Amino acid sequence: MHGDGEVLAAAAAARLITRIVDAQAARGSASVVLTGGRTGIGVLEQVRHSPARDAVDWANVDVYWGDERFLPDGDPERNETQARAALLDHVAVDPERVHPMAPSDGKFGADADAAAAHYAELLATLAEPAVEFPVPRFDVLLLGVGEEGHTASLFPDTPYVRERERAVVGVHDCPKPPPTRISLTLPAIRSAAEVWLMTTGAAKAEPVAAALGGADPVDIPAAGAVGLERTLWLLDPAAAPRG
Ligand SMILES: O=C(O)[C@H](O)[C@@H](O)[C@H](O)[C@H](O)COP(=O)(O)O
């Protein structure tokens, strides 16, 4: 990553470190939901390179994923593999508190729906009692944005972006490879305290403008990604709507 993309990733990394430190000061721990894609992984790399990363008590960070590419364990295209290489392998996270989505050669084999249901159960188990939607408190949920407006692995005009009941779904026939994925749904995403949408480049200007302009999430899934307390768009100049 270089140029404006790198500046954006570094700025987002600084914010992320601050957000985690603040959550830990308030509650003793913090929970972060990671995303895939160049920007999301670029931010994790910037966290790794930041001297301020040592202000975080990494053993008290809960790590989740907002979506995963349903591929074998260790596949270089898995979001988990990339997040570990970018950051998690370099800080003292507690392995018990890192919650990747299942790979396609794990306990559920090639059944992405079963793997998704299992992740939903895990989230429900870790949820605080009496929450509206059965997921843990997420202090910050990171997302990227696709050229056609997808976010996490929720693509336009699919049953998955319309899902209302389940927190996690197996996603099939995705236009962006690989075709099979696992994703949090919009209700799960909307249960996060803060949702940060991060993207760069002119190719993203259109979906960003549509989402900020109040598009229907069925057409532009990123438009439906809203945090309970805050929704933050972190953009470089090329992706930002022109005033
Ligand atoms: O696993 C994935 O592919 C994603 O989580 C996906 O939603 C990604 O964040 C966007 O497609 C943006 O990706 P870029 O930052 O690479 O454009």
Ligand 1 centre distance from Cα of residue 182 (Å) = 13
Ligand 1 centre distance from Cα of residue 37 (Å) = 4
Q: Give the whole-angstrom CA distance, residue 76 versus residue 88.
A: 15
The residue whose C-alpha atom lies closest to atom 1 belonging to ligand 1 is: 36
Does residue 241 lie within any of the structural domains?
no
Q: What is the CATH number of the domain that holds 230?
A: 3.40.50.1360
**Max CA distance (Å), the chain:** 50
Residue to mutate, 1, 4, 38, 39, ligand 1, most ligand atoms under 8 Å from C-beta: 39
Q: From the CB of 139, is ligand 1 less than 6 Å away?
A: no
Q: Residue 206, Cβ neighbours under 10 Å: how many?
A: 15
Q: Give the whole-angstrom CA distance, residue 223 versus residue 41.
A: 22
Does residue 243 lie within any of the structural domains?
no
Check: pTM over 0.95? Answer yes or no: yes
Per DSSP, the residues of 103-126 read: PTTSTTTT-HHHHHHHHHHHHHHH
Q: Which position has the token pair 């995303």?
A: 35
Tens of pLDDT, residue by residue, the chain (243 residues): 567 899 999 999 999 999 999 999 999 999 999 999 999 999 999 999 999 999 999 999 999 999 999 999 999 999 999 999 999 999 999 999 999 999 999 999 999 999 999 999 999 999 999 888 999 999 999 999 999 999 999 999 999 999 999 999 999 999 999 999 999 999 999 999 999 999 999 999 999 999 999 999 999 999 999 999 999 999 999 999 876
- Tell me the C-alpha to C-alpha distance, in Å, between residue 48 and each of 3, 23, 52, 89: 18, 19, 9, 10
- Ligand 1 nearest-atom number relative to CA 79: 1
Does residue 61 lie within any of the structural domains?
yes
Supply the range of the domain harboring residue 188: 3-235
Task: Give yes or no for a contact between 183 and 160, defined as CB atoms under 8 angstroms apart.
Answer: yes
Q: From the CB of 67, is ligand 1 less than 6 Å away?
A: yes
Does residue 242 lie within any of the structural domains?
no
Ligand 1 centre distance from Cα of residue 220 (Å) = 14
Q: Give the whole-angstrom CA distance, residue 196 versus residue 235.
A: 10
Does residue 123 lie within any of the structural domains?
yes
Overall domain count for the chain: 1
With CA atoms as reference, report the closest residue to 182 among 105, 69, 81, 103: 69
Burial string for 106-143 (b: 16+ CB within 10 Å, else e) reads: eebeeebbebbbbbbebbeebbeeeeeebbbbbbbbbb
Alpha helix positions (H), the chain: 3-27, 37-49, 79-86, 112-126, 159-162, 186-189, 205-212
Does residue 207 lie within any of the structural domains?
yes
Q: From the CB of 172, is ligand 1 less than 6 Å away?
A: no
Q: From the CB of 46, is ligand 1 less than 6 Å away?
A: no
